[in-house]
Amino acid sequence: MLVNAVVIAVLVMLLLAVLRVHVVISLFIGALVGGLIAGLGLNATMVAFQDGLAGGAKIALSYALLGAFAMAVAHSGLPALLADWIIRRLDREQESTSNKTLRWTKWGILTGTVVMAILSQNLIPIHIAFIPLLVPPLLIVMTRLKVDRRAVACAMTFGLVTTYMFLPIGFGRIFIYDLLYKFIEEAGLDVSGVNPLIAMAIPAVGMLSGLLIALFVTYRAPREYTYRAVDDRHEQQRIDTRKIIVAVIAIIVCVALQTWLALNGSDADPMLVGTLIGLLFFIATGVVKWNEADTVFTDGMKMMSLIGLIMITANGFASVMKATGAIEPLVAQSAALFNGNRAGAALVMLLVGLIITMGIGSSFSTLPIITAIYVPLCIALGFSPTATVALIGTAGALGDAGSPASDSTLGPTSGLNIDGQHDHMKDTVIPTFLHFNVPLLLAGWLAALVL
């Protein structure tokens, strides 16, 4: 296993990323090393990498338009109005020397972040689209309250990952029924009678324990940040009631359209269509004038361009990993080491799922790869259908939190690093990896043995 091309590629990528080599370069070098070790040769490796890049183009365009939409909302003055209202309240409370309300405000922000992240996966399935709208205007408030942004990153990642793997609504329905259950049944095991809430309850508790440790233990202490205005233009921005109303309507239209498309299983990308309609609405109403549109949209696209570029590169990395043909042997060889030992086999399957997802960066893409091999193994070892769902569902989700190339970590970083004080690897990837992958691994292992 230690000389498996996928394992080496992922380890190289992670090591370079931890050493502060840019994630895009780390992904490219990791893919190149994996392809060469697998015997693909330089030419075949580059062809596979380039073929994978095309798969990330739609995602990158969606994120670029999302950034433009977020900047248009900011141009309306709505985020500034929200931040100013909170700051005025803080000033009044500080004058009255009341620390109780300051604490309530801090925990209100953290709780609201978790709730919004949860809603973004299920009831309002807009995924990370809420981050550039909600987080940047609150950075000033977080700085005033000395909130550790690593706690905020953990709060967002918890909601983004736990919700879809536990609740079968919105993106959760896609993950559980359209992918997990579908591929398990195609591999020969009937799981139609398995309640996903029961199967994934223990892994979800593992994620919750990681969140509580992050908020109440690891990152509870105040952390100093330097005050930096996110956008100097907002300092003198005059609040226009009409623009505020238009912004609220645009957000409602954007969210409603994305929700409708997601829940109706449309082939059109909900984020792409929703943000595009929202942008056109801002222009049509005159909130963003024609002569300002180019600047506003360009600034917004710059804000999200990095995450789009990383997602494109991650698709190239995943394409090379699949082309190596080393994923199936990795799974089979790992399981063979513990023939007949359910506890050992379950642990190895979870670890392999972690490695694969850390490299690919998407649990949704991991499930089709591991299910066909894991299901026969689970049947042979005597795992129940419920335990099989828990094991494979957890193996797929492992690594989504803590992967440098996952949008569950890239999304929080894109919002928290607007003022340049939040490092992707040090402040998002490592904290979410430690607080979520470790307890999720243990919880998934326990669920596979007791269910």
pLDDT of residue 232: 45
pLDDT of residue 252: 80
Residue 428 has which token pair? Answer: 């998002």
Nearby residues of 418 by Cβ (< 8 Å), 6 or more positions away: 135, 136, 139, 230, 303
Taking the CA atoms of 349, 350, 356 and 362 in sequence, report the sign of the dihedral they define: positive
- Which of 137, 89, 97, 108 has the alpha carbon at shortest distance from 416? 137
d(CA 408, CA 416): 13
Find the angle CA(15)-CA(18)-CA(19) to the nearest 5 degrees: 85
Domains of the chain by residue range:
5-227+305-450
d(CA 385, CA 393): 12
Helix (H/G/I), strand (E/B), else coil: 419: coil
**389, 11 in Cβ contact below 8 A?**
no
d(CA 64, CA 196): 34
d(CA 342, CA 445): 10
pLDDT of residue 406: 81
pLDDT of residue 341: 80
- Residue 260 is given by DSSP the state H
**414, 304 in Cβ contact below 8 A?**
yes
Residue 155 has which token pair? Answer: 């709060």
φ, ψ at 119 (rounded to 5°): -60, -30
pLDDT tens over the chain, length 451 residues: 567 787 888 788 778 876 778 778 888 898 899 889 988 888 999 988 888 887 667 667 776 776 777 777 767 776 667 666 766 666 665 555 456 777 778 888 898 888 888 887 766 656 776 787 778 878 888 888 889 999 999 999 999 899 888 988 767 777 888 788 988 887 788 888 899 999 999 999 999 999 999 999 999 999 999 877 655 444 445 567 788 788 788 878 877 776 677 666 666 667 677 778 888 888 888 877 777 777 777 776 766 666 677 767 777 887 887 788 877 777 667 666 666 688 888 888 888 888 877 766 667 767 777 776 788 778 878 889 999 999 999 988 887 888 887 878 888 988 898 888 999 889 999 999 999 999 999 999 999 999 8
pLDDT of residue 235: 45
Q: Find the DSSP H helices in 120-148.
A: 131-134, 139-145
d(CA 11, CA 376): 28
What count of other Cβ atoms lies within 10 Å of the Cβ of residue 301? 18
